[in-house]
Chains A and B, each alone.
Chain A
């Protein structure tokens, strides 16, 4: 183990030496005041919908700091934060965020915005779930009819939600009809479209991709009066500078401050794709919401 590490250091060191001559030149033209960048790891849903470009452009205008957004799944985004390779994490799986905070990697979590999940599927609707208001029943019907279901299978927020719904429905999905794609939301929607099959999608990505798809919404989420189980809240957490020295904590907090400010929340509110609002801001409120700062099941007696 130690030998391998030394080997890595040796080879990598050689490479950096070799690279040293040609670094720096591609950074030269960015004339940030602070010459600093903020690394944000996030989910494909906030990235692929185009929302982040809008928010980040406004943030960059205001702070003169470039935001480097890396689109990963929720699981990968948090993992990158854990290893200290990002400064701030924007994700949508409360259980995973809680774990992240509990383990000490994240601080100052805020509720950011929400949209909802929907179940999409083909026109001929083999499981006959169209218009159901109970998503667990819909999932049961899909399993009973063994209709093709494409799972994200990538530890993303959507995948986490999907597993929670199967759990709620009392089904352990397996068999040929259940396919784990291991890819991002956009790819899974494409797959579901071409297979065709059902899948769980966040409304934002679905709307922004709708024009390319033949599948459509079968079970609505809470935004269109569907079940609360399909709620999709997004949170934002700064990486703990106590654990990772190099975490750019002040910029991370500036970013969190900006995106949860009235101005940032307005950008979210006004962001539309094909005339539809994708995300609903929930950070600005007159009433305190203490629950957003701590893990959901946290109590003050805890050590």
Chain B
């Protein structure tokens, strides 16, 4: 994960020359980009690790109440981020069940809330992708003597474009949401302008609150560029066929 982030930082660096002329400091913008990427990519990575097994399990088993589970996952895709923020707030707050870990106003708390937001999206889309794989593929894999893991890998390979779309949708949801990271992260930047828990979205919110709409717009453009860039990279890795 960390390698992934640090491999992305040079990419961020490579286009910061375009933005240093704007009315804020390089360090400020870079650290905000870093926090945004770190939080959202970590959250999405964990979400993916949780989502794929769930999608496989639900997709390939029949059990009473399956329809309900699918409905639940799909409902989760539309969870309002502020509500998720509130729930995480109560969880990590000093008086909540995780109070002892001192997670309030940290990137870890932000990762938690984005995890909650991204997981249903990734699970839901992957589930649809996995379910659309014909039974024949699975049967053939079994027939060739594959273990359960082998079969799962074959299915993931078959459904990879759909799964990738799910992951990208989850990332889009995570990196562009403002409600929950604002509540649990607190939009903190240190006094020298280095972001602690400030992301692009909360920075935009702050700039807009202070009436600096141009700066807010520039940060918005950076956010869109970033999402585009990440999408491009993932699509390229996936053979560009989504």
Complex interface: stretch among B61-69, B143-151, B182-190, B225-233: B182-190
Whether A85 contacts B105 by the Cβ 8 Å rule is: yes
A93 to chain B, nearest CB (A): 20
Q: Could you tell me if B93 and A8 are in contact, using CB atoms closer than 8 angstroms?
A: no
Kindly supply a per-residue 1/0 record for chain B positions 80-101, scoring 1 wherever the CB is within 8 Å of any chain A CB and 0 otherwise: 0000000000111111111111
Q: Does B196 contact A (CB under 8 A)?
A: yes
Within B95-122, the residues touching A (CB, 8 Å) are: 95-105, 107-108, 111-112, 115
Q: What residue in chain B is nearest A19 (Cβ atoms)?
A: B108
Cross-interface CB contact of B191 among A15, A21, A57, A184, cutoff 8 Å: A57
Could you give, for residues 172-209 of chain A, a 1 whenever the CB lies within 8 Å of some chain B CB and a 0 otherwise?
00000000000110110110000000000000000011
**Min CB gap A184→B, angstroms:** 5
The reply to whether B94 and A83 contact each other, CB–CB distance below 8 Å, is yes
* Interface size bracket, B side: 35 or more
On whether the beta carbons of A25 and B105 are closer than 8 Å, the reply is: no
Query: Assuming the A-B contacts A66-B190, A68-B186, are A85 and B46 also in contact, with contact meaning beta carbons closer than 8 angstroms in the complex?
Result: no
Query: What chain A residues lie within 8 Å of B1 (beta carbons)?
Result: 21-22
Is there an interface contact between A183 and B209, defined as CB atoms closer than 8 Å?
A: yes
Bound Cα distance A25, B5 (Å): 12
Mark contacts of B192-219 with chain A using CB atoms, 8 A cut-off: 1 yes-contact digit, 0 otherwise: 1100110000000010111110000000
Q: Which of A48-56, A142-150, A163-171, A275-283 contacts B (4 or more CB under 8 A)?
A: A48-56
How many residue pairs between the two chains, A and B, have CB atoms under 8 Å in the bound complex? 104
Q: Which residues of B contact A69 (CB under 8 A)?
A: 188, 191
Query: Is B237's CB within 8 Å of the partner chain A?
Result: no
Nearest B residue to A190 by beta-carbon distance?
Answer: B211
* Chain A residues positioned under 8 Å from B191 (CB to CB): 52-54, 56-57, 60, 67, 69
Q: List, in ascending order, chain B residues with CB within 8 A of A209's CB.
A: 210-211
In the assembled complex, the CB of A38 is this many whole angstroms from the nearest CB of chain B, namely 11
Q: Mark A51-91, 1 if CB is under 8 A from B, else 0.
A: 01110110010000011111100000000000111000000
- Across the interface, name the chain B residue whose C-beta is closest to A76: B183
The verdict on A23 contacting chain B, using a C-beta distance below 8 Å, is: yes
- Chain A contact residues (Cβ within 8 angstroms of B): what range? 35 or more
Determine whether B2 belongs to the interface, using a CB cutoff of 8 Å to chain A: yes
Contact with B along A243-281 (1 / 0, CB 8 A): 010100000000000000000000000000000000000
B188 near A22: Cβ-Cβ < 8 Å: no
- Jot down 10 A-B pairs with beta carbons below 8 A, ordered by A: A8-B91, A12-B92, A16-B108, A18-B115, A70-B186, A186-B211, A187-B208, A190-B208, A212-B212, A246-B99
Residues of A bordering B, CB below 8 Å: 5, 8-9, 12-13, 15-16, 18-19, 21-23, 25-26, 39, 44, 48, 52-54, 56-57, 60, 66-71, 83-85, 183-184, 186-187, 189-190, 208-209, 212-213, 244, 246
Supply 8 further A-B pairs (C-beta < 8 A) apart from A12-B97, A53-B193: A8-B91, A22-B42, A22-B111, A66-B190, A68-B197, A83-B93, A186-B211, A209-B211
